[in-house]
Structure 1
């Protein structure tokens, strides 16, 4: 199989790819490089050899007894990314995110499964070195496996191991044919080569090795394989992965990762992020089809200082009436530093518009409690959404103890009840790990 395209200078760009015949059934201890050299002694400098990981795994003894494939997947899993029924997308021991951790029960004896090579890059380096020793040629080697992909139907082969191959082609800093700067273009060359090889190898044709010829520029002319990062360079780092979790997993993690943050950096808060969080907040359940939430956003330093000063004065007056000492008062007032240090404040307010009046203290009390519960649900939505924007928060009750002062300073309607204040900002440090709570301690079943 060959592919052609028009080169910029008018010359024909071309490469050729073919599958090798004559590779026998591979068993533990077989030398993959010798098998390839026997099947294709005509390999040349600059060729790229595409090797299916399955034969590498067999040669390296990665076949294991496993009556329960799910248990084998568990053993190879580092992190569950997404789960739907019995299908699991996971991060495996090699750092690859894929279905079933790469555990393969096809084309293996009953009661066994095949695991991926323990270090696919090392496997590729060994094959490359073997071909250099046997045939005296400098080739690139790619070890491949079959992956599904987000947003795309169907499977394709990708590189999970590589040696002597430019796995990524970074075009940033260059220009396109129209002179436009390329600012984000990094080509996954190794994956493109893997897919090209798969077109001729097939999935069930018994041809596990292919050769690509005509692209010598992607092959490293040197021999210092040990210094290469290999196909691991293709794996996106956790901090760069915008889609690290499946949908339900992301929702659960967003809830559990919402933490109270009391120390913030000086980085400004994006008002758009806060408004997106408010949109999430007002999806909370509420009684009688009402909308009992209002959020006052204190985006200017002047508004924050004016409110906090007034609240501080009211608090000091309350503490003095309680007979507290000036030393005790000063200590208590310092608790408000979390609000003064935050670059952004939100005052959630409860409005009772649409509530029912029964003229009965018991039922009127229950009516207000319904609205207060809805307020709490709205604030929780807000805090979780802020966490999703990578913003830390702390919900502090202080405005509830001086509602008249808050209404006056902020010019709020008489019917707006401040329900605390939320400090918002970029966390100054990672929160300490929080142990998972046993749900059984909070559940009674009847």
Structure 2
């Protein structure tokens, strides 16, 4: 790579490219003709101009200014709130959010730098459309076919510092999918998809700088990344998929790191829904064990560990338990005087356990509990342990949701504890605290009525 802040470039070798910043672009104001400003910068005497196959790297700030995305705002926080669709993580005043464009970034791209005091800059309304308009305008003004990338600055998880990335593109193949190919050693490439758009954006930033008044760069020598074909007119409903910067945004379903810390807890709790129907897809036992790891972090009295989890991983063990429990339920219901129709209906409610591909029986043990001389305190002691057992089960259910596993906690084992202990060969002091059906939900959960926490709060 060759950097030319004030270039006199020659034709680059096939394995090299050149990058330089366009000089002479003045402070951009709302309504300015950005095409004219860039074309004037590209035709300054002594500069190499623009040629077919070049890639233009344009800082989003000047696009926003030209498009009038300047907001009078003494309160930047209100502007961030308006541009945010989801708060990913928060630490003090700093917020990582998903903007309405779909970008996960700090402050939704709302910027108070390089703009007059009392104003903030919003991201372009549609960065891909902005890139297409600039590309078309330069073709009409200068007769050249160039690729255009609109950039902004992002921080990155696990990496210190910031870098420019592509938020809009036209005429550039922003992803280079190498899957299915082989490397120089003949190894198959199974996951390699290069983020060309972001790499070009970062290369341009090396010569633009943050405070040097050079908002546009040109990259020459990489025509393989510039798409041939007609330039779309502004207002085109959709760019070709391979040249839209939206292709660089990972979809939610495949994003393993979508959630921030606080949001992960909130979403896992929200995802924790009772699932009544499961697919036949097997359950990963390792995921269940990770959920148990979370369960045993619950609070408990006297520094005890009152939780035990019995994992029924085979169909034979599940059916043996459920058949024995069914017989006990039926006997109890008949003793209660229930009709056969009523008994059949009640037994069917337990079929969620029978249909699940995985079953867990949480148990409570009283190891470490205190014994008192009066029944009142002994009853309170047990209640403390039961509460701790419930906290462990809640942790378990939330952790399963975080593993994208559905669950249903059913209390039925509590009504036939002796049967459960006998079938599963459990110690006599293990109290089964229900059963948890685990599996992959067969359908999205039903909408549940919203609950406002204030309805459950009493302040004294």
Gaps of 5+ in 2: 4-12, 44-48
TM-aligned CA deviation for residue 169 of structure 1: 0.6
Corresponding residue to 2:398 among 371, 379, 384: 384
Write out per-residue CA displacement over residues 47-105 of structure 1, whole angstroms, 9 at most, x where no aligned residue: 00111111111111111211211111111111111111111111112111111111111
CA distance in 2, matches of 1:183, 1:351: 48
Corresponding residue to 1:337 among 345, 348, 351: 351
TM-aligned CA deviation for residue 107 of structure 1: 1.8
SS at 1:14's partner residue?
coil
SS at 2:153's partner residue?
strand
CA distance in 1, matches of 2:451, 2:125: 35
Aligned length: 439
Alignment-derived partner of residue 164 in structure 2 = 157
Indicate how the Cα distance of structure 1 residues 36 and 174 shifts in structure 2: closer, same or farther if over 3 A, else same.
same
Aligned positions of 1:174-253 closer than 5 A = 174-225=181-232, 226=236, 227-229=239-241, 230-253=244-267
SS at 2:112's partner residue?
coil
Corresponding residue to 2:275 among 261, 270, 274: 261
SS at 1:181's partner residue?
coil
Runs of 4 or more, structure 1, over 4 Å off, are: none
Aligned positions of 1:52-67 closer than 5 A = 52-67=59-74
1:81 aligns with 2:83: no
CA distance in 2, matches of 1:94, 1:215: 28
Q: RMSD across aligned C-alpha pairs, in angstroms?
A: 1.4
Alignment-derived partner of residue 8 in structure 1 = none
Corresponding residue to 2:153 among 137, 146, 150: 146
- Contact 1:282–1:293 at 8 Å: present in 2 too? yes
Alignment-derived partner of residue 37 in structure 1 = 39
- Contact 2:363–2:430 at 8 Å: present in 1 too? yes
Alignment-derived partner of residue 19 in structure 1 = 21
- Contact 1:50–1:209 at 8 Å: present in 2 too? yes
Alignment-derived partner of residue 118 in structure 1 = 125
CA distance in 1, matches of 2:81, 2:368: 52
Q: What TM-score results when the alignment is normalised by the length of structure 1?
A: 0.96
Alignment-derived partner of residue 420 in structure 2 = 406
- Contact 1:348–1:419 at 8 Å: present in 2 too? yes
CA distance in 1, matches of 2:304, 2:73: 57
Aligned positions of 1:295-310 closer than 5 A = 295-310=309-324
- Contact 2:135–2:231 at 8 Å: present in 1 too? no
- Contact 1:164–1:223 at 8 Å: present in 2 too? no
Aligned positions of 1:347-362 closer than 5 A = 347-362=361-376
CA distance in 2, matches of 1:380, 1:438: 20
TM-aligned CA deviation for residue 128 of structure 1: 0.6
TM-aligned CA deviation for residue 329 of structure 1: 1.1
- Contact 2:88–2:262 at 8 Å: present in 1 too? no
Alignment-derived partner of residue 385 in structure 2 = 371
Alignment-derived partner of residue 2 in structure 1 = 2
Alignment-derived partner of residue 394 in structure 1 = 408
- Contact 1:398–1:420 at 8 Å: present in 2 too? yes
Q: What TM-score results when the alignment is normalised by the length of structure 2?
A: 0.93
CA distance in 2, matches of 1:377, 1:71: 38
CA distance in 2, matches of 1:184, 1:35: 41
